[in-house]
A and B are shown apart, each in its own frame.
Chain A
Amino acid sequence: MDHIEYLFAGFAVFWGGLFIYLLLLQMRIRALSQEIGRLEERLAEAEAPPAARTVTPPAPPGTGGRGGRDAPEQASEVAAQDA
């Protein structure tokens, strides 16, 4: 009555689950880092003098917060907390 196959199945499920979790997390971190870089470039472009600007399409609606404060205030708050 050893059921050693169940023992290895239990450990395999745990390690497999952990591996998938870390893989998904790593993919999300990479995507977010790229998005932050891209948005910071767009922000720098938007802050540049009008002659130096290139036309970029606006982001889809509904992507920002709706906590009652305006966008620059929220962005500077998040950036200040992370600094």
Chain B
Amino acid sequence: MNQLLRRLEPLGWNVLPPVVGVAMTAMIVGALAAAPREIIEGEVQRLMYLHVPSAVIMYGAFGFTAFASVMLLWKRDMRWDAAARSAALVGVFLCSMVLLSGAIWGKPIWGVYWTWDARLTTTLILLLIYVAYLLARSVAGPLDEQAARYAAIFAIIGVVDIPIIQMSVRWWRTLHPQPIIFRPNPALPDEMLLVLLIGFIAVASLATWLIFLQWNTERAAQRVSALRAEVDHREMA
């Protein structure tokens, strides 16, 4: 793991920031100027280029949280705890953005900001699960291995909500539209699909960069905790 991290670290500082900048600019230009106007919903439909990629990358961030939690339980290496917490924080940020952009999109189309629809409710539950995970984890110290293991189990159980969210529009009658992109024949013109693809690249690179920054912060917090304990130990001696 050490060798892999040493190889990847320069990418995080030198490559990711310009990639994120270029991709996000391309996404905004594509969404606001290049993509064709949707006939029924009008200009507000352009929120799709932000909303849909954020939702899919959010699944990825929470999936990575669960993966890092499994690795923590298996390897007992606290760097996986830092990775899990970093991905969970970015996932919570993206989930909040998905719910907010969805509410703003929903108001002119459905007439309400919020409804207790299956897709919306299960997404809100996912947000609350990982907010609870982060709160529970932040109560204990960054190097508390027992708290990290309990939180890891919680994070692994929480990820079960993702397939429920994905299937909710099929299992229940919902206001939220059925999938129009992830199916054999996407119900979108090629111009829209291209801008959406740019949106996916932009949000994925942004999330990767944020997880990298957050991981460095969590590692610094672990180092502070360890140093504080060592200073106390030496000063008492």
Contact = CB atoms under 8 A, between A and B. Distances in A.
Is chain B a partner of chain A in the same complex? Answer: yes
B226 A66 contact: no
B50 to A, nearest CB: 6
B25 to A, nearest CB: 12
A48 to B, nearest CB: 10
B174 interface: no
Contacts, number: 158
A39 B228 CA distance: 7
Interface in B17-63: 28, 32, 40-44, 46-47, 50-51, 54
Given A14-B101, A65-B225, A82-B219, 18 more contacts: A1-B108, A4-B42, A7-B44, A10-B100, A29-B217, A33-B220, A36-B223, A58-B235, A63-B141, A64-B228, A66-B141, A71-B226, A71-B230, A72-B230, A72-B234, A74-B229, A78-B143, A78-B223
A49 interface: no
A72 B236 CA distance: 13
Dominant secondary structure at the B interface: helix
A63 B229 CA distance: 7
B107 interface: yes
Nearest to B49: A11
18 contacts: A4-B42, A11-B28, A11-B50, A17-B96, A18-B93, A29-B220, A32-B224, A35-B224, A42-B231, A43-B231, A46-B235, A56-B235, A65-B142, A65-B144, A71-B226, A75-B226, A81-B79, A82-B219
